[in-house]
A and B are shown apart, each in its own frame.
Chain A
Amino acid sequence: MSEHDDSARLSRRSMLKAAAAGAAVWPGLTAFPVWAADHPAIGTWPAGSAGDSVTIGATVPRTGPYALQGEDELKGLQLAIEHVNAGDPLIQAISPKTKKGVLGKTVKLAVADSEAKPNTAVQAQTNFITQDKIVLMFGATSSAVAVALNKLADREKVLYIVGISGSNDTTGKDCARYSFRQCFYGQTAAAAIGPVMLKAYGKGKKAAYLVPDYTYGHTVHQSMKDFLGKNGGWTEATAQVAPLGAPDYSSYLLNVANSGADVLVNINWGHDAVLSIQQAKQFGVLDKMKLVVPYQVPFLAREVGPDIMAGVYAATDYWWTLEDKFPLAKRFNAAFKAKYGYMPEWGANNAYMQVALWAAQVEAAGSFYPPDVIKAYESGATMKSTVGDVHFRGADHQLVRPVVIVQAKAKKDMKDPEDYWNVLDVLPGEPLMQAADAFGCKMGSPT
């Protein structure tokens, strides 16, 4: 659709609205020169937002080792879209200008199973872009998918809000002008959990690492090793790199058992984390070593159970008992549990927050024109969230946000069947973060 047609249609719509609402609307319209006929078409703009609705394309893993986490993300996303369309007060608390929908347009959702594979996700999003003219992409879990979608976002000039992705590459070496991340760097997780480990286990320890063989695993491994080595004189006893979805960890765990390590740092994710921890218990590894999960895995404690997990430290985006501290978290939890029957994990919270923050930027920009939305993101304006005030860092498109330190509870300490983690600390994000260009982020042009 040409830009001319579109502006004509929009002004026709505006006139219809004006006719309905009365002449008082006209001054308002002149105050918002949002149709900006001087912008050339870019990506799916203006076609994607020309009608009464806009579509978000979501690719989450619904099969494979990350299926559980992907399904949770999807639920958070669906709840957010429902809230945006209804103008729910919770969304309005984060995005104050939201009435109903985004800029008055209903938000629709197109979903595909990414299988946690970059190629599958890129293919699905490409279809959404050409067929549904989506205005926004959502998805990840794994970071390999996030990095691939970053590149797609910049190439197709379609905005992308990252789902679960903790790799340093996502807003580092592979950062993208069109991509924005809410959950923190693996480096930030290391800077947050590292001091807790040094305090609990002392200096000069030996660590064994279980590392999933892709960008997330490798970058978090590097960050943890660097931090513990530099600040605590820790050495690496062994690093066991395993493919995503390994059916058995016995050979890796024998190497760990024979390595003489004091602490097992498990970077595996999703079901891989569950299986490797259960098997570590079977092999007696957890009787000899302390377990740490640097970047908390949604559902891990539910699946593995407090008998094995009790005492384990982790850094996380979100845990539901933060509601004692943050009123917005309480409202989010209540809405989520009412709809889905369980307390949200951090993947769901991340998805919800990402949509809410996106809605806030579009409303602030007053337009779906991507360069304007990017400008709104990059302004670094402070926003409310379920974990307190947050803002995006313009230079790498990373949200500056608190990091939550948790420790798994023993069964006897659980006050509720879902009370798996004890929130030890909520650390401000800014002091934990490295410089925006430390991982080589170089942004492309918005146009």
Chain B
Amino acid sequence: MLNWANLVSQLFNGLATGALLALIASGLTIIYGTLGVLNLAHGAMFMLGGYAGWVVYQWTGSFALAVLGASAFLVIVGAILELVVIRRFYGRPGEDQILVTFGLGIVIVELVRRAFGSLSLTLPAPAWASGITSLGFMLYPTYRIALIGIVAAALLALYFVLYRTKLGLIVRAGIEDAGMVDILGVDVGKVFMVVFGIGAMAAGFAGAVNAPVVSLTPDGGDAILIETFVVVVIGGVGSFFGAVLGGLIAGEILSLTSMVDPAYSQFALFAAMTLVLVFRPQGLLGAAGRE
């Protein structure tokens, strides 16, 4: 469908899709940058956020509380996982870390399947953002427009924590050189736990705010995880701004390619990643030599 109305529609849609990917990817990239652990359970955290939001919504009937509850729950889940499992893997080879987080992801998905079944669940959009809005050139779900704002606010909050607080300073220092931060007398262990919690929270928050857009299934995080990895690679591992830029690029690639031939949108995403890996292996905004 190559026409102006569709082009503008798809550009806008790419922004909406990309914003969400940026938020999920920022959680993944902070964890990897600071802890050096590639968290393959990140998709499961995203999914868990959706289910946690659904549960809170059943209790309270409030969408805002559902999102807050899901975020808080995921901070706790993330911190516990770091304390009980991830912490034991910092000194181990990368393959071990990948295997254990991959395994954790499966465990979380199957626990959710056991508790909720495979029948999908829906979380309604808040009343103030339900329905369809006409943007002149297209009709767009009101909630998806609101979602761009919600995600932008969350990214801004994350930016504030990372760049305007002492914790953020330590985290960013940890991304550059965790060993040096340790030598300087910072309790790196505690910081790592908090970082893993924040990373999980970003995924959980994204899962909860995305819930009204999709219907929840236990496997809902799988496909997102893959796209998120691509975003991190494009943007640059460990770079918060890279995650944001990568997310927006990925969103636009998925949306714009689908205009020409939707069967190629996934292909185009991976092709873009390959190009980045060939010509700028550290990612668009990544620093060379960073682990």
A interface residue numbers (CB < 8 A to B): 63-65, 67-68, 71, 213, 238, 240-243, 245-248, 250-252, 254-255, 257-259, 271, 274-275, 278-279, 282-284, 299, 302-303
Contact = CB atoms under 8 A, between A and B. Distances in A.
Contacts of B10: 251, 254-255
Contact of A271 (B109, B120, B144, B265): B120
Given A245-B223, A247-B227, 16 more contacts: A64-B219, A65-B217, A67-B219, A68-B119, A242-B262, A245-B219, A246-B223, A247-B214, A251-B254, A251-B255, A254-B138, A274-B215, A275-B214, A282-B132, A283-B132, A303-B119
B17 A251 contact: yes
Contacts of A255: 1, 6, 10, 258-259, 262
B5 interface: yes
Given A241-B263, A245-B222, A283 B141 contact: yes
Interface size class of B (residues with CB under 8 A): 35 or more
Interface string B216-239: 011110111001000000000000
A107 B140 CA distance: 54
A239 B219 CA distance: 26
A348 to B, nearest CB: 14
A258 B224 contact: no
B122 interface: yes
B262 A68 contact: no
A68 B132 contact: no
Nearest to A299: B119
Contacts of A246: 223
B139 interface: yes
Contacts of B58: none
Contacts of A303: 119-120, 215
Contacts of B3: 258
Nearest to A288: B139
Contacts of B140: 283
7 contacts: A68-B118, A241-B262, A274-B215, A275-B120, A278-B215, A282-B141, A299-B119
B122 A67 contact: no
B1 A259 contact: yes
B9 interface: yes
Contacts of A248: 17, 213-214
A274 B217 CA distance: 11
B109 A63 contact: yes
Contacts of B215: 271, 274-275, 278, 303
A241 B266 CA distance: 11
Contact of B219 (A65, A252, A258): A65
Contacts of A240: 258, 262
Contacts, number: 109
Contact of A250 (B17, B217, B220, B223): B17
Interface string B25-60: 000000000000000000000000000000000000
Interface in B1-20: 1, 3, 5-6, 9-10, 13-14, 16-17
Contacts of A284: 132, 139, 141
Contacts of B16: 250
Of the listed residues B9, B122, B218, the one surrounded by the most CB atoms of chain A closer than 10 A to its CB is: B9
Contacts of A274: 120, 215
Given A245-B222, A251-B258, A67 B118 contact: yes
A303 B263 CA distance: 26
Interface string B162-205: 00000000000000000000000000000000000000000000
Contacts of B141: 282-284
Contacts of B6: 254-255, 258
Of the listed residues A243, A251, A302, A303, the one surrounded by the most CB atoms of chain B closer than 10 A to its CB is: A251
Q: What 10 pairs between A and B have smallest CB-CB spacing?
A: A251-B258, A241-B263, A247-B223, A282-B141, A68-B118, A258-B6, A284-B139, A67-B118, A251-B255, A255-B1
Contacts of B254: 251
Of the listed residues A252, A258, A259, A284, the one surrounded by the most CB atoms of chain B closer than 10 A to its CB is: A258
A255 B222 CA distance: 25
B138 A258 contact: yes
B119 to A, nearest CB: 6
A275 B9 CA distance: 20
Nearest to B130: A282
Given A63-B219, A68-B119, A275-B214, A252 B258 contact: yes
Contacts of B214: 247-248, 275, 278-279
Contacts of A250: 13, 16-17, 144, 255
B13 A247 contact: no
Contacts of A242: 262-263
B1 A213 contact: no
Contact of B224 (A247, A252, A254, A278): A247
A238 B259 CA distance: 11
Contacts of B9: 254, 257-258
Contacts of B13: 250-251, 254
B119 A213 contact: no
A302 B263 contact: no
A191 to B, nearest CB: 27
Contacts of A252: 258, 262
A301 B220 CA distance: 20
A302 B119 contact: yes
B50 to A, nearest CB: 12
Contacts of A299: 119
Interface in B248-291: 254-255, 258-259, 261-263, 265-266
A258 B262 CA distance: 14
